[in-house]
Amino acid sequence: MKIDLHTHSTASDGLYTPAELIKLAREAGLSIIALTDHDTTNGLEPALAAGQARQLEVIPGIEINTDISGAEVHVLGYFLEYQQAAFQQTLQTLREMRVTRAQRMVAKLQALGLNITWERVRELAAGTVGRPHVAAALVEGGYAASVADAFNRYLGRNGPGYVPRYKLAPLDAIKLINSVHGLPVMAHPAGISGLEHLLPSLCEAGLVGIEVYYGEYDAQTVEYLKSLADYYHLIPTGGSDYHGPGIHPTQLGARAVPEESVARLRTSALERRRTPAPAFELPPYRM
């Protein structure tokens, strides 16, 4: 059984619509796919409908980007009761802050003399706007050879077009996901310095899994992360982080995720639903 638990659609910065993604997943021989768009669940309804039509199981998911001193920590959430109104309101706020950030990045790039516009970036983003959309505008304008090149030249953390995002902490993302009975899972953890010091507090807050079988991670990295998962009793998950051609190198379904991991996620989801979900409020604006 082929499983991919980390994918993006046009609801955020992926290149394929949810329905197209499901079609591709079927063609790639997948049986289970999770859609994990950034700060939005707007792709889930069409993905679930397409999955039903094509007999492919779609697990509702999300990805929330957070920061810790100088590094990014992304938190995935699975099996969320995503229709909850307060949750949707929070996502809306996060997306609005992304708009402000992207506008500031465009302004910085314009000040450097680059001829790109916010209107074009907004057009390129069908849903949640992000740096990949600014990157695409830079490629279009002839300022970068590819999205990756645009990140290298302008949009990386130390790049001249970079603007920090609204600072959500990993704990905030976990609490947000907990508030809709979702399962928080740490995304692509390799390279996060101090990971082993960070994990205990996140586990205590409700982290249930960690990506082990991710993207292009090599055997040694997978082995290390699997040992961490075992030590902290975290479910080892994974996936391709597929965005469509040209953004991440991994192909849809390229990474084998054990069926047992999905079974453990399901059990965990059922357990969570037995207790009321704690409410969540976004912390005040910090830059």
- CA diameter of the chain: 56
* Residues of span 180-199 touching Fe ion by CB under 5 A: 187
Question: In terms of Cα–Cα distance, which of 60, 98, 78, 239 is closest to 174?
Answer: 78
Cβ closer to Fe ion: 143 or 240?
Answer: 240
Within 8 A by CB and 6+ apart from 285, the residues are 97, 166
141 to 160: interface string for ligand AMP, x by CB under 6 A: ------xx--x---------
- 175: contact with Fe ion by CB under 5 A: no
Q: Which of 4, 34, 38, 161 binds ligand AMP (CB under 6 A)?
A: 38
- 282: contact with ligand AMP by CB under 6 A: no
Question: In terms of Cα–Cα distance, which of 266, 217, 253 is closest to 21?
Answer: 253
Cβ closer to ligand AMP: 156 or 283?
Answer: 156
Query: Which of Fe ion, ligand AMP, Zn ion, none interacts with 151 (beta carbon under 5 to 8 A by kind)?
Result: ligand AMP
Helices (H) and strands (E) in the chain, counts: 10, 7
- 13: contact with Fe ion by CB under 5 A: no
- What is the distance, to the nearest Å, from the Cα of residue 46 to the centroid of all Cα atoms in its chain? 18
Cβ closer to Zn ion: 59 or 125?
Answer: 125
Task: Please state the closest distance from residue 47 (CB atom) to Zn ion, in A.
Answer: 16
Cβ closer to ligand AMP: 148 or 269?
Answer: 148
Contact 177, 80 (CB under 8 A): yes
Residues 108-137 as b/e (b if ≥16 CB within 10 A, e otherwise) read bbeeeebebebebbbebbbbbbbbbbbbbb
* Residues of span 13-42 touching Zn ion by CB under 5 A: 13
Task: Find the part of the chain contacting Zn ion (CB under 5 A) among 6-14, 176-184, 200-208, 231-239.
Answer: 6-14
- 241: contact with Fe ion by CB under 5 A: yes
Task: Please state the closest distance from residue 76 (CB atom) to Fe ion, in A.
Answer: 8
Cβ closer to ligand AMP: 125 or 257?
Answer: 125
- 39: contact with Fe ion by CB under 5 A: no
d(CA 282, CA 276): 19
Q: Measuring CA to CA, how many Å separate 164 from each of 105, 124, 191, 282?
A: 9, 21, 19, 17
Q: Residue 7 is which amino acid? A: T
DSSP 8-state class, residue 23:
H
Q: By CB under 5 A, how many residues form the interface with Zn ion?
A: 1
* Interface ranges with ligand AMP (CB under 6 A): 13, 38, 65, 130-132, 147-148, 151, 165, 243, 247
* Interface ranges with Fe ion (CB under 5 A): 63, 74, 187, 241
